[in-house]
């Protein structure tokens, strides 16, 4: 077994590994084994005819072997082979630290695990944050404060007042602005030395590969399953590390996917839950500080991956319960049958993730009729016979009540179906019109014969378009 020491300039192609062990007896066998393990590195080491490139020096026992036996040089078992790019003049001035940077990052420089070399790595690093919401906010704030040289932001949304409870990168005056613009301003306010690249667009199968290619690490701060699978697959195909975090109500998760010998997101979750089965934070809520905790853990993992030498959350899933203030760690295994990262993958390119997550309409399924808030108001003004079914839980109805609505929580709909009047149209109410779709679908499958209507965009639409005295939540 030979240990190969990888220079920083090439670690972007070895998953940030500073040392790689291979089975070999000569320098040539070792370098070839390294190139086979990391195919993206091959073109940086060898010419098209298989010769070692002129600007690559190999050292064994402190001796440059290029001018001696070259690749035929034997290397003892448990020996070391050092790759040294032949760069005249030492480190590129762009990666040196200025006096201003030394003053700004002095608390990092005092840590032997980071020091000057680690801070230079941070300065040279490029990290893409997907989503500038609850998780992306602390990620962006702490990575910029830490001195990550280039931070990319992907988001197509605008700042909403409901975001401010947890998305601390935005402020009240930013309401209505693109999140990427708001986040960039805050990042620059914290650290003007950081290069911020904004991608004010939805991440799709058409643009993900191109966007990800220019970055070293991808940090997943998304809030839906289709984008999580998209991020995962693009990272696997490009050989990028995926720093993952997720939150819901009081629970959080964090890990690192995409390492060569570690699992990917599909290894942990081979398929998504049925649409609507797991509510989003917009429907189920989230403790405001929770994404701050998980996002900061993601930031810590990102910094460790850049600097190297630490133990990242590869193959380990960290679970956090904020209500009980409890951490747990579970071991994750790489699935050899994973369709993306397994031994014989069946998925080789990005797919239609909305279809994969069941978000596209099935031609065989019965359609669900919707009614807008303004259409519903018009029908009420006309005196139409309508019954309202509020499927929300008691704690949510305490926020706002809809007059004359029958209260049947979602989980009780099927067994209480007889309480509905089939002769009157039934309009189902929830916050944003998502859970009510599940309720209508359940009644359809149970054989209910009356007319079922979903209030499009839920009670928030009623508060926005009809009764402005009602709160939006």
Which one of the listed residues 267, 338, 341, 430 is annotated catalytic?
430
Instruction: Respond yes or no: is residue 281 known to be catalytic.
Output: yes
Q: Of 234, 242, 237, 248, which Cα lies nearest the Cα of 313?
A: 242
Contact 119, 108 (CB under 8 A): yes
| Main-chain phi, psi angles of 429, to 5 degrees | -120, 130
Q: What end-to-end distance do the CA atoms of the chain give, in Å?
A: 60
Which one of the listed residues 235, 281, 338, 341 is annotated catalytic?
281
Alpha carbon distances (Å) from 121 to 16, 82, 97: 10, 19, 11
Instruction: Report the C-alpha dihedral over residues 328, 333, 337, 342, rounded to 10 degrees.
Output: 120
Instruction: Respond yes or no: is residue 267 known to be catalytic.
Output: no
Handedness of CA 404, 407, 410, 416 (dihedral sign): negative
Contact 123, 95 (CB under 8 A): yes
H or E element in which residue 31 lies: helix 27-37
Contact 293, 323 (CB under 8 A): no
Please count the other Cβ atoms lying within 10 Å of the Cβ belonging to residue 92. Answer: 11
Residues annotated as catalytic are: 281, 430
């Amino acid at each position: 077994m030979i240990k190969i020491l990888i220079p920083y300039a090439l670690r972007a192609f070895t998953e940030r590994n500073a040392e790689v062990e291979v089975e070999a007896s000569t320098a040539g066998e070792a370098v070839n084994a390294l190139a086979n393990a990391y195919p993206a590195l091959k073109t940086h080491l060898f010419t098209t005819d298989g010769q070692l490139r002129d600007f690559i020096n190999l050292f064994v026992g402190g001796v440059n072997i290029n001018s001696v036996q070259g690749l035929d040089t034997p290397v003892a078992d448990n020996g070391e082979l050092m790759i040294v790019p032949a760069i005249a003049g030492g480190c590129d001035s762009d990666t040196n630290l200025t006096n201003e940077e030394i003053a700004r990052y002095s608390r990092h420089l005092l840590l032997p695990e980071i020091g000057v070399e680690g801070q230079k790595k941070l300065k040279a690093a490029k990290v893409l944050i997907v989503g500038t919401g609850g998780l992306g906010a602390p990620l962006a704030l702490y990575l910029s404060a830490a001195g990550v040289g280039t931070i990319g932001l992907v988001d197509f949304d605008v700042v909403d007042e409901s975001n401010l409870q947890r998305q601390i990168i935005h402020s009240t005056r930013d309401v209505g602005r693109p999140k990427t613009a708001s986040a960039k301003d805050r990042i620059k306010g914290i650290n003007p030395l950081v290069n911020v690249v904004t991608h004010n667009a939805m991440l799709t199968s058409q643009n993900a590969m191109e966007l990800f290619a220019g970055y070293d690490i991808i940090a997943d701060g998304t809030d839906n399953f289709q984008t999580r699978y998209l991020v995962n697959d693009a990272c696997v195909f490009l050989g990028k590390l995926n720093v993952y975090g997720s939150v819901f109500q009081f629970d959080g998760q964090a890990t690192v996917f995409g390492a060569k010998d570690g699992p990917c997101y599909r290894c942990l979750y081979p398929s998504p839950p049925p649409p609507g089965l797991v509510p989003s934070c917009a429907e189920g809520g989230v403790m405001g500080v929770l994404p701050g905790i998980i996002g900061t853990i993601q930031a810590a993992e990102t910094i460790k991956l850049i600097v190297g030498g630490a133990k990242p959350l590869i193959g380990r899933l960290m679970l956090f319960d904020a209500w009980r203030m409890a951490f747990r760690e579970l071991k994750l295994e790489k699935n050899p049958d994973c369709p993306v990262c397994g031994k014989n993958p069946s998925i080789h390119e990005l797919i239609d993730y909305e279809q994969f997550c069941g978000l596209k309409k099935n031609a065989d399924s019965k359609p669900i009729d919707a009614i807008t808030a303004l259409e519903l108001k018009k029908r009420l003004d006309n005196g139409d016979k309508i019954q309202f079914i509020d499927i929300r839980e008691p704690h949510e109805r305490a926020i706002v009540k809809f007059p004359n609505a029958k209260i049947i929580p979602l989980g009780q709909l099927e067994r209480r179906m007889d309480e509905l009047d089939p002769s009157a149209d039934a309009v189902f109410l929830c916050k944003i019109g998502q859970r009510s779709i599940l309720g209508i679908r359940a009644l359809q499958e149970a054989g209910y014969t009356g007319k079922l209507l979903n209030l499009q965009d839920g009670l928030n639409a009623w508060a926005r378009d009809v009764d402005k005295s009602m709160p939006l939540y």
